[in-house]
Structure 1
Amino acid sequence: MDDDSMSAGLIYVAYGELMHKLQVMEMSLWEIQALQMKKGMTDAQAFAQVEKWDGTTFGALYRGMKSQPHWTEDLIWKVGQAVQLRNHLAHNFLREFFLAVESQANYEAGADQLLDWHGVVDELAGQLDEHIKTLGGGGWDQLDEASKAEVEALRPKAWPLNNDSEGSWRNTE
């Protein structure tokens, strides 16, 4: 592998990791939404809400939550910036830095930008975790063993894109 390929590969790894962090951040918004659910909801009602969240974008989820009274102006503004960053990464970043004019200078500029964004996203994730605690959330470590077992029981046993069952994207027949 030549140096250019190695540089590009590292950029793509950093890009993928940043997109992953933003996806996890979206799950933090789900957690906040779950903490706002009305007491007494049935499991079916709760799962219907989760399905609704699953069918929406990070931006739409943010727009639906930004007027909730628990947010500080600063924190909700930062979440909005994270939405814009995610959209920029998904729709512009790779094209702007690597496909239009491929060069070592672009690789270096892209790497620097990704490193900056990683730091900002990590800081915001920590702030969201603290905010979630103020709303009564606690994360995985705060769950008792019975609750953890319930969550584990809900996990899929097979992932749709990883099997060769009928209807799989890999089924070429």
Structure 2
Amino acid sequence: MGVLTDYFRAPDAATVVRALELKDGGLPPLDGDGSSDEAFDGVEAKGVDPDTVLGRLVAATLGEPWRVDLVTETAVWPTTPKPGPSGPEDEDDPWTTGPWVVELGATARDALAGVPDERVPEAVGRWAEAEEWDGADPSDLLPLAEELTALARRARAAGEQLYCWMSL
């Protein structure tokens, strides 16, 4: 079972929560360029979790080694309190079932937004070496990296944050 991940931009967490409440946690439609008032500008990126897989792309764009704390996250959804160390008491708890949305720290947005176009293929070459890609061809990953960097540029230009919606 793979994790579905979509990245999108929004002005703030409150805007994201309002949209999620209208869809019972389902991600409102992505329109790819932010041209619709009813959809978020975003990128479908199945299996690209923010901590590790996206974190490795961020590290590659920065030209530094990946580390677990490179991409910081703040939980946005569910809005209920996180369960304690023993986990949720109920198997229907939204923290167990998802979906989940996190706001990414500005470091990730700015690293992706700041990589020059001519350096994206080089960064993707490093990104493709990550064990999570299991020997993927960099040319297969380049379109996704270009979409993610373009999304980050639009977010930064608009003074918005990047978010990741995840579901099983």
TM-score by length of 1: 0.26
Indicate the structure (1 or 2) with the bigger Cα radius of gyration.
Answer: 1
The structure with the largest helix share of the pair is 1
